[in-house]
Amino acid sequence: MGTTKTIHFTDEQNELATLAKAIGHPARIAIIQHLIKVNSCICGDIVNELPLAQPTVSQHLKELKNAGLIKGSFEGNAICYCLDENGFNKIKNFFQYVDKHLENQKNQCC
Amino acid sequence: MGTTKTIHFTDEQNELATLAKAIGHPARIAIIQHLIKVNSCICGDIVNELPLAQPTVSQHLKELKNAGLIKGSFEGNAICYCLDENGFNKIKNFFQYVDKHLENQKNQCC
DNA sequence: ATTTATTATCGTAATATTGCAATATAAACA
DNA sequence: TGTTTATATTGCAATATTACGATAATAAAT
């Protein structure tokens, strides 16, 4: 196998999983952190920042983009990337939901 | 390969990635949601809730536990699982950090 | 038009993940 | 002790992910 049984889960569960999975790699965390640090958008700089070859970085950027976590726009012959609030808002809601529960259940666990 | 180059990233980046990766599967999202729904702890019920075989569920529980997202305590011959705030607080902080940035940069992206 | 710079894609090797049947382990109880 | 119940582990097949060299594609600059 190796194949996730997405059919048996709800769209919401699959979407949240896809978002979390996209974030679940140190290189992609580093990309997100860098995009926050430099405030405005960047592109080939990300390749210089990361300890990975250009095709690998390109692949990671693609995954983040597919998940709706970053967006890129052409700027001359380069591409400017920045965070996409669409994806982040979706997970943010999930974590707020979890957090609300954790507050209520403090020290009441089994 | 298939091997993530964890050595080249910071401990924080690797830890956040591990947490997000653990959440990044619909079955594990479903487990988290169920633990929230039933409020107090449960165990074999999770197996009944999920459309997966017992060994598969056991594996998913193990991953969540290793990541510090759930904790289990023995209750007779059964095991009672519930959410572990340790793991969740760590990612929560990350998303708050991201969110703060997104608020500032609204519509100022490239 | 050619070169240069920037990013994406293809192909491929190595490793990781997912899922399950079979089996093991451990605790309660008869 | 033997049996039931609950969970974990092992072993394995199928698929996914990660990473990179080589190469393509695109657009600016000369």
**B60-106, pLDDT tens digit by residue?**
999 999 999 999 999 888 999 999 999 999 999 999 999 999 998 77
Distance between CA atoms of B11 and A37, rounded to whole angstroms?
Answer: 18
Torsions phi, psi for A78 (to 5 deg): -100, 170
The answer as to whether A37 is a domain residue is yes
Residue B64: predicted pLDDT? 98
Whether chain B has a CB inside 8 Å of the CB on A75: the answer is yes
Residue B6 has its nearest CB partner, among A16, A26, A101, at A26
Number of domains in chain A: 1
In a domain, B109, yes or no: no
3-state secondary structure of B79: strand
Q: Is A22 on the interface with B (CB under 8 A)?
A: yes
Average pLDDT over residues A19-41: 93
B3 inside domain: no
- Would you state the pLDDT for residue A39? 73
- Is A3 inside any structural domain? no
Residue B87 lies in a domain: yes
Q: Where do we find the tokens 């050595």? A: B7
> What CATH number corresponds to the domain at position B96?
1.10.10.10
Residue B63 maps to a domain: yes
Range of the domain at B31: 10-104
Q: How far apart are CA A43 and CA A48, in angstroms?
A: 10
Query: What is the arithmetic mean of pLDDT over A27-50?
Result: 91
| In a domain? residue A28 | yes
Q: Which nucleotides of D are covered by protein (CB under 7 A)?
A: 5-11, 13-22, 26-29
Which pLDDT score, from 0 to 100, does residue A33 have? 97
Q: How would you class A53 by CB atoms within 10 Å of its CB: exposed for 0-12, middle for 13-18, buried for 19 or more?
A: exposed
Per the prediction, chain A carries an average pLDDT of 93
Identify the residue among A41, A92, A94, A101 best suited for mutation to test binding to B, counting B beta carbons within 10 A and taking the highest: A101
Give the distance, in angstroms, between residue A54 CA and nucleotide D22 C1'. 12
**Model confidence pLDDT, tens digit, residues A58-90:** 999 999 999 999 999 988 889 999 999 999 999
